[in-house]
Structure formats: C-alpha cells, structure tokens
Amino acid sequence: MKRSRLGRRSGLPREAENLLWLAVGLAESGSRAEDTFWDTRLAVAVDGLLHSGDEDALSAALDHLYTSNPAAHDALADAVESRAEGGSGDPARHQALLITAPILAWSRFNIPASTLPASALANLRVHLSAHVLADKVKLAFANVLFSPDQLPQGYCETARFAAELAAAAERNRDLTIDAETLPETARFLSDVRYLVAAVISEPGAPIFRWQEKDGSREHSALQWRTQGSACLAPLLAGCATELVLPDAYFAACRQADRMSRAYSIRASVAFLSTTLDTPPDGVRAVIAPFFDRQLEEYRIGFTTLGSNAVVHGVVWPLLGVEDDNPDVPQQIEQTLRECGVTTVLQLEQRFPMEYCDDCGSPMYPSPDGEAVHAELPEESAEQVPRHLH
C-alpha cells in the first residue's frame, strides 16, 4: 500500500527550514572559522530568497526563531538585513550599502514628504560626503523625502530598492522617483522623514567617516545636525526638526524609532503649551500599559490641570524585548518631567489595544482609568492633525 507523504514536522516551507538550520548553526558556532562556514552558506540562501521575492519564507523563519531560539533569530535577522541593504553587483569590485538619514519633525501643519530639488540634493551631498562618509565613497540619493508609509515594505522590496540605488551610484547619478506613485502619507503632529541613499566603496575600504582614524561618530553627528539642518530647513518649512546620524538603513531606522518616542513627547508638550496657552506645569500626563496578547505599548493621555478631559495623546511603542523592561514607565515619566510636566499619573491596570471606530485613532488613558478619545477644545483644534503620534 502506498504511504501518504507526511508533512514536515515544523510546518515550515523547505526554504525556511534551511534558514533555521543555517541560523542555528551560526548561533552555536564556537570559532571564527566555523562562523565563516555558516555565514557564507546563510548569505547564499538569503540572497536566493531576496532575489526570488520569497518574503514569506524569510518571515516564517524569523517568526519561528523569535520564540524558539532568540540567538539564532538575531543571527538570521542580521544576515537578512545585511544582504537586503547590501545592494547588488560584484563584491570583488565594490561594496554597496543602503543608508538613510532620518529627520524627526513636528508641526501643527503638514510635515512635507515630497520630491527633493536638484539644488537641495547637491547641498546635502556636499555635507554628507564631508561629515558622514569616508573619502572616495560614491553616493546616490533617491530624490524623495520619504515618510514611513513610503519606505520599501519588507526585505525583498528593500533589496530591490537598494540594488536600484547602488546601480545609480555606480553611474554617479541620483535615482529619480515619481512621488505621485508613492502611498499617501498619514498626517501626524510629529513624525519621521527619511533621506535614503546608496553608497559604494572599494572592497575593505571604510564607508563612514568614523571608520577613519581621525573621525568619530560624535563629531559626525554634530556636524551633520548643524550643516544638514541648514540644508533641510527650506524643505521643512513650519517644522521643528532634529536630525538623526545617518547610518546603514535598518540601524538608522531603528535609531529613529527609539529617538522618535521621546521626541513625540517633547513635541506634544510644546504643542499643548502654545495651542492651549498653558505652561508645561499646567499639563497633566497619564501613563498606562496597553496589551494585545502581551504588553505592546504605553500610551500617554494629556489633560490640563483641573480637568479630566484628555486633549491629546502619544503612543510609546515597545521595541525589541522591552516588554520585559519594568523601567519603561519611569523613562517616560523622566522625559515628561524634563519637558516641564510636573503632574504625572501612572496607571497599573491593563488596557486593551483600543482604537476609535470612526477615525482609527488610538484611545488614550484618562485620570479616571478609562480609555477615551483625545479631543482638543473646539476653539483650539483648527489646522491640527486629526491623528496624533
């Protein structure tokens, strides 16, 4: 009698199982020589999936390892990110890298996400090359100031984008993108914008200024914030901004995610102070944890003193393994107090991840211990973004 074929025990696609085997081998390696063995084979496997667009296999392997083997998960995530942002081409001729320069911004009007004029790109090229990139590095910008909604979605799309930009860098040209083809940008009080570029250097040569003997990250960050801010100010009229040090694409995006949380609180306090004509110490903040299957984020509801009506709210998402960090509420409170908010209430009850059925906005904690919609007084609500980050 013919036997039925049994499915694989893990239920994962064959390609994902191969990634698991390679990532676990790398995580358990005990020497540099063994690292090289696993690294080489893992890179080939990941490149094949990126080239074929098999996002599902990459996601399945990462999701499986996230709970079953954190060390192997990190090894696989590093491999996938490095191959996706590494562009394409002959590694014997050059090394390519997708980079981004995030900009934290807030405004009670629209934060632009638009095409960058050639003159602005030329100025940005001068300062990025002088203060952030190593000598003799070729650079190609994408000619758009991206919002988070407009960045490549997933590793395979990121790899394709990196390859396009790297090819443009080889030709010493910027990459032209039709901004009309990009997704619509959601409107927030504070948000992140991204300059995205690809760089090419000789194999083994430094890519960033701080890799050279007389450079440092601190000096690069200071110079970029000073010179880059001056270049970007005309492009972000009506916005307060803070520049994040440019870096490899995924690393810089994560750093922007971390920095944007405190920045959103600072922006919110400044916004409420001017909009409601209330000093920071006239604002009360309510901090509460919000859960799905596990703790996902903290939300901060703002009221004025003497009222329990929530007039504004901010989400503080948890990143990485922060759901195990009991110090997060204290970090939020410290940020609030640094902004001048002296009345802070921390709630310990578990709130569900609730959103408004009509507009999709998050619900924020009130002093009464309820999740409510944030509503500015009508006389203060004109020209203010409907959704509040």
Contact 303, 284 (CB under 8 A): yes
pLDDT tens digits, one per residue of 221-249: 999 999 999 999 999 999 999 999 999 99
Burial (CB < 10 A; 0-12, 13-18, 19+), residue 372, is middle
> Is pLDDT of 50 > 60?
yes
d(CA 383, CA 375): 14
Q: Residues of the chain with pLDDT > 90: what percent?
A: 83
The pLDDT score that the predictor gives to residue 293 is 87
Q: What's the CA gap between 351 and 361, in Å, rounded?
A: 15
pLDDT of 3 above 60: no
**More reliable by pLDDT, 385 or 57:** 57
Q: 107-118 burial, b if ≥16 CB within 10 A, otherwise e?
A: beeebbbbbbee
**Mean pLDDT of the 369-388 span:** 71
Q: Please state which of the ranges 124-128, 318-322, 360-364, 365-369 shows the lowest mean pLDDT.
A: 318-322
* Separation of alpha carbons 256 and 330, rounded Å: 21
Predicted confidence at residue 255, as pLDDT, reads 96
Is the model's pLDDT at 135 over the cut of 90? yes
- pLDDT at residue 4 is higher than 80: no
Q: How far apart (Å, rounded) are the C-alpha atoms in residues 152 and 196?
A: 11
Q: What is the architecture, at CATH level 2, of domain 276-380? A: 2-Layer Sandwich (3.30)
Give start-end residues of each CATH 3.30.420 domain in the chain: 276-380
Reply yes or no on whether the pLDDT at 94 is more than 90: no
246 CB-near residues (< 8 Å, 6+ apart): 99, 100, 101, 128, 132, 195, 224, 252
Q: Confirm if 272 and 302 have CB atoms less than 8 A apart.
A: yes
223 compared with 10, residue with greater pLDDT: 223
**How far apart are the C-alpha atoms of 99 and 86, rounded to whole Å?**
10
**Could you tell me the CA-to-CA distances from 80 to 44, 55, 179, 181, 206 in Å, in that order?**
11, 11, 28, 27, 22
172-197 pLDDT per residue, tens: 999 999 888 899 888 899 999 999 99
